Structure 1
């Protein structure tokens, strides 16, 4: 028996490796740079813990969550391995014990959060601690395009170069793009030994459902699994608390868990979940990464996750022991609005937001899938598979119908409206609704106006949702969520390809739960999100609360009226002269998509006083009167300064006007300019 095999048995108590582990362990033990993508529950931690015991010196483990580090350190200590963690959650005694073990050379594994790498003393500490290997857990956190980006992960490459030691990186959620980014950022682009061990977890049953009394749906799912450990993920902190209470009231044992709780409360919840067999934790995504509880029998999502990676990682916490486990994910229109808004309000560059919308489309594609969900999930990660037989669509295939005509109508509306509008406006056009916006853009004159009256608004929303799930259309972050067609949509529009839709999704659209009232229409929501993102950026820069820049009601009015000039902006409620001068250009740039035209300081001052329109009309009146009403007199004009004074003071009679410009100019311009002032 080899030394590695002996340690596997004597320390960890395993008689053999799980599939895929042995090759990785051997490569890491030899000191090779390694990137390993393994399914959640596939035994990633053993692949760096065992080599750490085989090799001389100290292995530093970079890990993203305190709970993960604490659990692994306690598990290692329980089997006699010298391990410690330096985290913000340590007591003074725990930190002192780690430093003492380091100085005496006893420590084999040292866990730390990536944020600690920004501390000036960390590199000095590690240089004198005989570090011989770096292990990076949850390596996808290095991806700036990923769902769990942690900026301090970018420092790991610098640490590897400074210590000049091999590095092994592990993750369960990395598509090809993310894998390339990991190699570039952690290994300086030099290809490590790469092990792709697949993403399939065949013991986990996958199921999605359209929200229809979502609380009752979650309570029913949990009741059918009473006595089993489970996790319910929610989109907000408030929902974790209300749903945990509802579960307790129904006779279950449940705890809420979210980032707003005190550290001791979170620790107690984690401890109880590890120790109690029948406990349900209702949590935000703050819970679960690194929770090494093998017998979690089910995971439910009360709200749609934000990406396929998030979904895969969260359901992967069930069934780590290989025994059957179940999942349920609820989704509805509010989820899509919430997730799209999160993306649109992000300060990320346009390319990042576009990629995030595409990732959300991919998750929607799994939710709205027509055949085997596992096939759809694995294909996202680049794996092909047969129908699994262990998902709700394999259990009960949905009824499909030829939706080509409906989809072609929707695509035609997008094209006729110049790919410049969201689903809400497009549906109004298709249904022939004479809304203010339809009239404003003369879309009631288009050939597509009223061609979709066979479906109601909910049906059309469900059709557009399925189209996004097929990635036929995407929101354009450059045009505030306006839908544009992707390449696969073109042959459908041209009549060269057909498309099927799910009938059950359309049927459930009419009996879905109540839709939350939004601050603005779906059409204006992306612009409101962009304005809020700009407000947040300005408020953080000035270190003031967001409402000090502009109140919500002011941003709502901007989103609904879409001012095109500083003069338009001046008429928005809550935009005074000082704020217009300070913030006007910034918010106009968001609305216009580019910087507004430069304006002469005198003209700009008039805009801040609400007199800009008067100035423009006075200019126009002057142009018509330069040679007098007859058009034959000697040319005469007023200076910009004189026009500015007239616009600012707005004289009401000829005497006052004459005092501003003199009798000659008053004779030429007085009557027409006083009429302009009166009309405005």
Structure 2
């Protein structure tokens, strides 16, 4: 694309404290500017969310210099609304809170997530936002909010962690009452709510079978959808699987031994379990075995208070924090 395009993109990246985008990130940006649908399957930590986070500011910049752009690029930029909104469908509140917190530090970018704050919800109703995060239950499951959302000029729909459409929404032939979160299978309704919006589907974990199922739910045509993928293999990460006897004592021996010896020097560790009950059992066992290490351990699940969730997330980011081990549900 034109040099003005590249220069403007580089200037916007500086606001995100990034010097250069990776080739795959540029591919996503190019697709979004052209208003094309895109599926991006990229490794965790790759920065696959960055292109849509940059898009609002980038389009604004391109509109300012539209007359200096190539003719085809001018036509592409005109397709975008002047006051566009990006709707991000996200499965977890903790992910939305983290993204909103990070993006709120960017000047001239108004970012919120639809939650329980009345002031924020009023902002959404009046369209005073650039990027809005919300769960499938809110976006397609609440009739009142569906009506409110449809008044917005939505330029882009982002479906984050799109594999959850299949893994949490279940198979299309499965009874809705038996699935984990039924509204995930209805995310495709967003396309009919915002027919002029393009769609970006993001995931780090996706089989071919799940990809086809999701493409069907989201009404993505393979021949016209941009597909961007990268192998998740990393040379600096190894996966080790060890089978233990089915007892907490033997399964947690390495943790008890390590924390007893290293204490605050024990590496930060996330341990996932299938249920809140299992999380509670593991947490209680460790605290009972090492009562003087209780400050190093915590739990994170759907019943954890919002205040404590924030405390735990901040502790995991803080290198000086005493928090070393967090037991969490896999959801």
TM range (shorter): 0.7 to 0.9
Distance 2:280 2:252 in 1: 14
Alpha-carbon separation, structure 2, partners of 1:228 and 1:42: 22
Structure 2 match to 1:634: none
Q: Which residue of 1 aligns with 2:327?
A: 283
Asked if residue 154 in structure 1 is aligned to residue 197 in structure 2, the reply is no
How many angstroms does 1:145 deviate by?
4.8
Q: Please list the CA deviations of residues 583-638 of structure 1 after superposition, one character each: whole Å capped at 9, or x if unmatched.
A: xxxxxxxxxxxxxxxxxxxxxxxxxxxxxxxxxxxxxxxxxxxxxxxxxxxxxxxx
- State the 1:184 CA deviation: 0.8
Distance 2:324 2:306 in 1: 19
Q: Which secondary structure state, in structure 1, belongs to the residue aligned with residue 189 of structure 2? A: helix
Q: How far off its partner does 1:43 sit?
A: 0.8
TM-score (norm 1): 0.38
Matches within 5 A, 1:219-618: 219-220=256-257, 226-235=265-274, 236-245=278-287, 246=289, 249=292, 253-277=296-320, 278-286=322-330
Give how far 1:52 is off: 3.4
In 2, the alpha carbon distance for the partners of 1:156 and 1:101 equals: 19
Cα distance change of structure 1 residues 102 and 121 upon mapping to structure 2, 3 Å threshold: closer
* C-alpha separation in 2, matches of 1:205 and 1:248: 32
Distance change in 2, residues 1:61/1:45 (3 Å): same
Separation of aligned partners in 2, 1:248 and 1:45: 41
CA contact (8 A) 2:272 2:330 kept: no
Q: How many residues end up aligned between the 2 structures?
A: 279
Offset, 1:152: 1.1
Secondary structure of residue in 2 paired with 1:201: coil
Say which of 21, 26, 32 aligns to 1:28. Answer: 32
TM-score normalised by the chain length of structure 2: 0.75
Query: 2: CA distance between counterparts of 1:211 and 1:63?
Result: 35
**Secondary structure of the equivalent of 2:21?**
coil
How far the C-alpha of 1:159 sits from its partner, in A, is 1.4
Q: CA shift at 1:238, angstroms?
A: 2.4
Residue 181 of structure 1 is matched in structure 2 by 213
Instruction: Answer yes or no: is 1:115 the counterpart of 2:137.
Output: yes
Q: CA deviation at 1:199?
A: 1.4
Contact 1:59 1:108 in 2 (8 A): yes
Q: Which runs of 5+ in 2 are unaligned?
A: 1-5, 60-80, 173-178
2:100 to 73, 78, 81: 73
2: distance between equivalents of 1:153 and 1:185? 9
Flag the 1:238–1:251 CA change in 2: closer, same or farther, 3 A.
closer
Question: For residues 233 and 123 of structure 1, do their structure 2 counterparts lie closer, same or farther at Cα, with a shift above 3 Å needed?
Answer: closer
Residue 260 of structure 1: SS of its match in structure 2?
coil
1:366 is matched with which residue?
none
What is aligned with 2:155? 132
Distance across 1 between alignment mates of 2:48 and 2:291: 35
Three-state SS of the structure 1 residue aligned to 2:242 is strand
1:60 & 1:248 partners in 2: Cα distance? 45
Measured in 2, the distance between the counterparts of 1:101 and 1:121 equals 13
For residues 160 and 101 of structure 1, the distance between their equivalents in structure 2, rounded to whole angstroms, comes to: 19
The separation in 2 between residues aligned to 1:179 and 1:260, in whole angstroms, is: 31
Deviation (angstroms), 1:215: 1.8
| Structure 2 partner of 1:415 | none
| Higher RCO (C-alpha 8 Å, min separation 6) | 2
